[in-house]
A and B are shown apart, each in its own frame.
Chain A
């Protein structure tokens, strides 16, 4: 049976890992190589690098980091942040990424996901969605945001998800901004709704504070994988602790790093 994945996300700025609380205040959580190695030893199923600055100078640094990581750790690597064109995608794949995560650019060029899936295959094209629960005309509206969560688009999350399915995206990472960095738990309702709307994997992001939150999103939230940053970077929990917790509650996880009883 396919295991549920636990994925640490490394937000990268100038070669260092940082993690913002609700996207804004950034705190340094260590070097990329240290983090990647540490997470491999703990049993991470995949690593996500998110390039949060993505200026031209920093882009070159991110490629170096990616290449370096792909020589040190032998697991799937996904990279996101500032990817706008088919050429950007090709460069990332050639530098050791197995998947690329596309966010704002998919809104700005609504053919990008489709063209990328045709060119490189659905399996490496991930649509990242920054979603926010907002009030509009007195009613709750699930809205897609871009530019690192700073700009509302007016696009409804569920419409965006359906388009991703039609365009051939291979995976969705759903980051619910209201929950991100709060450690108050994932948005189970929105995650389950997205998961029900597609037949490809959905990765939940934003809000993990403890193993219970991960258990909830992988069961009630119907996610295929749980992505987190803060709770791992600062050593609150190790990945193996989370997996042990999930395993004990009957969630299928990779059996390496699980103590057999």
Chain B
């Protein structure tokens, strides 16, 4: 059973339907106790970092998420659900994150480059995934597969060993991370058609 955390940030509907399409059992959870009892956890999210982290804290879910990651439960963060795992985000200020993965979240910055105008922010659309490690989430998915992104900020891990994939947008950025039981993607598997669904299936089958 996969538990998707609902904290009021964004479209859970597609994530849920994506898992259902690949035959997984899913439920939506809203309470810390449910996260403590869960087997596998998905943290989705779209919107502003500040709103998301303050909502998680208000609802008392932050501690449960950290515990779940520490206890070795399979964990998948998507988009903002990736960024929230980091120590700090500089999205419209400076906000402390969950601190599960060391590092920071920064805005794409192409100021002063000759090709600045062509490097769009948000980074929105389909871009290629490149990885060097045998990431469980990507099993059976071809190298260089296009997946769907929509974001203006990206993560910068302090430990290069957690990098699962990189993607090019005015230079390489980290498009997913993986450390032990914790995996998280900047792109949206639930919006990435068949290869995205293949990743959800991989997660469901872990």
- Contact surface of A with B, Cβ cutoff 8 Å: 1-5, 40, 45, 67, 70-71, 73-76, 93-96, 98, 120-124, 170-171, 196, 199-201, 222, 224-225, 254-256
Contact = CB atoms under 8 A, between A and B. Distances in A.
Contacts of A170: 122, 124
Contacts of A224: 120, 124-125
Contacts, number: 102
Interface of B: 10-11, 13-14, 17-18, 21, 46-48, 116-128, 144-146, 148, 150-152, 168-169, 190-197
Given A98-B11, A254-B146, A255-B144, A71 B17 contact: yes
A247 B28 CA distance: 41
A167 to B, nearest CB: 15
Contacts of B194: 74, 256
Contacts of B128: 1
A124 B169 CA distance: 20
A98 to B, nearest CB: 7
Contacts of B18: 74
A165 to B, nearest CB: 11
A201 B144 contact: no
Contacts of A98: 11, 14, 150, 191
Given A70-B14, A196-B117, A254-B146, A2 B127 contact: yes
Contacts of B146: 3, 254-256
A70 B120 contact: no
B193 A2 contact: no
A123 B126 contact: no
Chain B CB within 10 A, most for which of A2, A171, A255: A2
A200 B195 CA distance: 26
B127 A76 contact: no
Contact of B120 (A3, A74, A96, A199): A199
A200 B122 CA distance: 6
Given A74-B191, A96-B13, A1 B127 contact: yes
A203 B18 CA distance: 27
Nearest to B110: A199
A4 B120 CA distance: 12
A254 B145 CA distance: 8
A3 B125 CA distance: 7
A151 to B, nearest CB: 30
B169 A199 contact: no
Given A71-B17, A200-B120, A255-B144, A124 B126 contact: no
B148 A199 contact: no
A120 B10 CA distance: 9
27 contacts: A1-B168, A2-B120, A2-B123, A2-B127, A3-B146, A70-B13, A73-B193, A74-B190, A74-B192, A74-B194, A74-B197, A76-B191, A94-B11, A96-B11, A98-B11, A98-B191, A121-B47, A123-B46, A123-B122, A123-B124, A199-B121, A201-B124, A222-B118, A224-B120, A255-B144, A255-B145, A256-B145
